[in-house]
Structure 1
Amino acid sequence: MRVKYSKLLILALASTLCLVVIYSTLKDGVHPQRDLIEIQSITTDTNRKPTTTKVKPIIKKKSKNDTPLELPPLTISEDFMKYIPKNGAYWNRKLHSLLRQFDVAENQTREDPRHWFQCKPESFELLQTNIQDIQSYPPLYKDFLKGMECRDPPVVIDQPTKCESGNEAEQVFLLFAIKSTFNHFERRQAVRETWGREGSYDNGVQVRTVFLLGRSLQDDPNLDQLISLEAQQFRDLIVWDFEDSFYNLTLKEHVFFKWMLDNCPQASFVFKGDDDVFANTQAILNHLHSLEPAQASSLYTGQIISDAAPLRDQKIKYYVPQTFYEGPYPPYAGGGGFLFSGHLLPYLYHVSFYIPFFPIDDVYTGMCFKALGINPVKHSGFQTFDIREQDRENACVHNDLLLVHQRTPQQTMRLWRNMHSSMLTC
């Protein structure tokens, strides 16, 4: 215990030092240039101690891997093409335009689709021509619309060896991919110390964890150096050069697919979720081991939202204007946490080029699976809308659950400790 607390004390002191450095750069109340920190070499080799790494401020860093990808041939489901109606809404028109391009493209080749789609920020004039009431859209929505074609931001902090292993038997079985933001250190640390612990589990299966981040927003305090320190210490942060706003979560999904193909293509399964969920790692592994081969290869499971439709109230977080999208949503797994097969990654990445970015990431993911002809499978162990209030501190109730949402870091630590207590009788 003394060693553990010593390490925490060292990290706290280092973090304090970084805060002093950051705030010493503030002059006359002006926010410093938001340049992230370049980490020259961050690895996930758990047998090595973090090395001293040269750190320097940068504005952008080119992707480490710009070589073309070899992707499998793609077929888009006829059901998906019929499910999204053709009408005058902007997104619907963009989708069916891309589907026509898909019909004429050489989609049966293994050619990397990125050369078809270059980042061309939409001009406001173009948007105003296509969306007559765009002046009534919220400002963040307008920003989202301008960047809908930009899909390949550079990686600023990477973990290229996260899934590497010299032994084929030790390939990653389950990767936890957790959406997070700069200022959520406590949440990440609670995940690291509980259900997101990396290592070898029953039957020798390997579990790894990464946290997915974009750049902090312009009005947020500059935590770049703290993030740099955290990345060096824990080797589990991936940071891309785009603003980490709610409407950019779909972009985060897309670039994560690409990162997986580059760095973790052999992972058997992926758990994608938020940093404020509580997951039952052993129950998840037990469920994955119970699957038949056919189930495992096409897995997409969680708490399934069916018969959903856009919400038209601007005061609601999930607001979607009628002139932007018109029609139902396909069934999808709630974005708080869901599981899918690693086998599907190249197909998901490929098909995501032909589906315009949508401002709600779990809906977008459901669209991608629907386009591949894969229907989500409901699992009662996923409780993304939480459980009864009187059961939320009951460790025995959680033994049969795979996920609950939402939990504070303190609740996560307490629940994990109680579930693994030798005194617990269920």
Structure 2
Amino acid sequence: MLIYQSNLYFLLLPFSQVVVESPVRPLRSLVRPCFIFLLFLSTVIVIILLGFPDRFSQTDWWKNLSLYTYYHRWTNPDRHRGPSPTTIPPTTVPAPPSATIRPLPTNHYHFGYPRNYHFIVDEPDKCNTQTPFLVLIVPVAPGNLAARDAIRRTWGNETLVQGKKVQTLFMLGLPGGLGAQELQEKVNQESRVHHDLLQSNFKDTYHNLTIKTMVILEWLVSRCPEASYAMKIDSDVFLNVQNLVSMLVNPDTPKQNYMTGLVWWHSPVLRNPNNKFFLPYEVMAESEYPPYPLGFGYIMSMDLPKKIMGVTPQIKPIYIEDAYLGMCLKRLGISPTNPPRKSLFDVNPIYSYGRCKLSTVVAVTTTKVSQLLRYWQDYTRPGPPC
């Protein structure tokens, strides 16, 4: 037993000597290597930034860290509230791009808009019997019956708000692919039942969203010019119609040259070909878009549809429909207006909304039909919301 303890003592002796001798020395020994590494890393970063400035200025990764960050960057009223709702300054055109950039062919980003579409499903008398104060038009795919039914069961069923008539309609294009004829027959039957569908003879695709928006404006001009306001609203949005009407009947709300929503000021034109919203210099030479409200939901006074349609022949359309509206507004010398509170409109919120929050908004996006239905059920429960 004595021999075992003695051997154990000699085995542990070197470690005990190190600890007793200098407990701080290992930490000190790490300081110099860490300092050298950080100095080397900083030098490499500086060399890269100085040696390849063009490459970094043309890369959009820093603008796309997350939609949430991007959204707050360009809608923050503290950064730039934007000009008054009258005129906006001209956008300066930057110098030509570097010869090393080779944009993709422009025909992918422009599209033909012959302005000769016609309605194959229509409700031409919707505004004749009683002129609505507010017209809500929802662009939606022909096959998305679930979204249409959800809206009919929720905010689309609000027809008289604070004594103001509200009319909700859905805008569709033509179905494509296998089963298109069968789907079209279902659309026709749905129209006979609900009388709230508008359908034009353009192909219903993502890259035709601008065409869809222009056709919405055409319908408003020709079928409902006496209404006071119109709203284009996506099918995945919760809409608080009460708050929307309250905002519009406010005496401070303009009755002409008025477009509002979640307005983006100084939104950059993205040059990264891998980005969903990439546009080459040949399509748009400016570095920033004119101000525009995000496409998930924007409101306009009813004088604007005709004015916008009047300038569209002068502006070649791009497939980013909300940005294209901003280009039309700029040509008209009109700027969109920030809402009374930025929190009235929210896109892709990080957290689900509760009943109290839903009672304070105008429009907020949802992730699926079940969430929209749950929001509405929660919002309409009896009792105080907060």
Superposition deviation, residue 381 in structure 1: 3.7
Other-structure match for 1:83: 91
Selected match of 1:178 from 134, 138, 146: 138
Alpha-carbon contact 2:133-2:229 (below 8 Å) kept:
yes
Q: How far apart are the structure 2 equivalents of 1:371 and 1:291?
A: 27
Alpha-carbon contact 2:344-2:360 (below 8 Å) kept:
no
Q: How far apart are the structure 2 equivalents of 1:347 and 1:192?
A: 31
Structure 1 stretches of at least 4 aligned residues deviating more than 6 Å after TM superposition: 86-89
Matches within 5 A, 1:287-366: 287-292=247-252, 295-327=254-286, 328-366=288-326
Q: In structure 2, what residue type is equivalent to 1:85?
A: V
Matches within 5 A, 1:213-292: 213-218=172-177, 222=181, 223-292=183-252
Superposition deviation, residue 220 in structure 1: 6.8
Offset from partner CA, 1:363-387 (integer Å, 9 cap, x none): 0111112222221122214434233
2:349 is equivalent to residue 387 of structure 1: yes
Matches within 5 A, 1:400-411: 400-411=360-371
Superposition deviation, residue 185 in structure 1: 0.9
Q: In structure 1, what residue type is equivalent to 2:303?
A: H
1:284–1:381 CA distance, 2 compared to 1 (3 A): farther
1:305–1:322 CA distance, 2 compared to 1 (3 A): same
Alpha-carbon contact 2:230-2:300 (below 8 Å) kept:
yes
Superposition deviation, residue 133 in structure 1: 6.5
Q: How far apart are the structure 2 equivalents of 1:177 and 1:425?
A: 28
Q: In structure 1, what residue type is equivalent to 2:331?
A: A
- Identity over aligned residues, as a percent? 26
**Structure 1 portions without partners, runs of 5+:** 1-76, 90-131
Alpha-carbon contact 2:120-2:200 (below 8 Å) kept:
yes
Q: In structure 1, what residue type is equivalent to 2:306?
A: P
Other-structure match for 1:156: 120
Alpha-carbon contact 1:276-1:407 (below 8 Å) kept:
yes
Matched residue SS, 2:311: helix
Matched residue SS, 2:316: coil
Selected match of 1:376 from 336, 340, 359: 336
1:86–1:78 CA distance, 2 compared to 1 (3 A): farther
**Structure 2 portions without partners, runs of 5+:** 1-85
Q: How far apart are the structure 2 equivalents of 1:242 and 1:133?
A: 32
Matched residue SS, 1:404: strand
Alignment TM-score, normalising by the size of structure 1: 0.64
Other-structure match for 1:3: none
Matched residue SS, 1:297: coil
Superposition deviation, residue 413 in structure 1: 1.3
Q: How far apart are the structure 2 equivalents of 1:283 and 1:198?
A: 12
Superposition deviation, residue 218 in structure 1: 3.2
Offset from partner CA, 1:243-272 (integer Å, 9 cap, x none): 112221111122221111111011100111
Alpha-carbon contact 1:305-1:331 (below 8 Å) kept:
yes
Superposition deviation, residue 206 in structure 1: 0.6
Q: In structure 1, what residue type is equivalent to 2:159?
A: G
Alpha-carbon contact 2:355-2:385 (below 8 Å) kept:
no
Matched residue SS, 2:303: helix
Q: In structure 2, what residue type is equivalent to 1:231?
A: S
Offset from partner CA, 1:92-150 (integer Å, 9 cap, x none): xxxxxxxxxxxxxxxxxxxxxxxxxxxxxxxxxxxxxxxx978x44xxx74664x4242
Q: How far apart are the structure 1 equivalents of 2:194 and 2:229?
A: 22
Report the structure number with the largest CA radius of gyration. 2
1:149–1:180 CA distance, 2 compared to 1 (3 A): closer
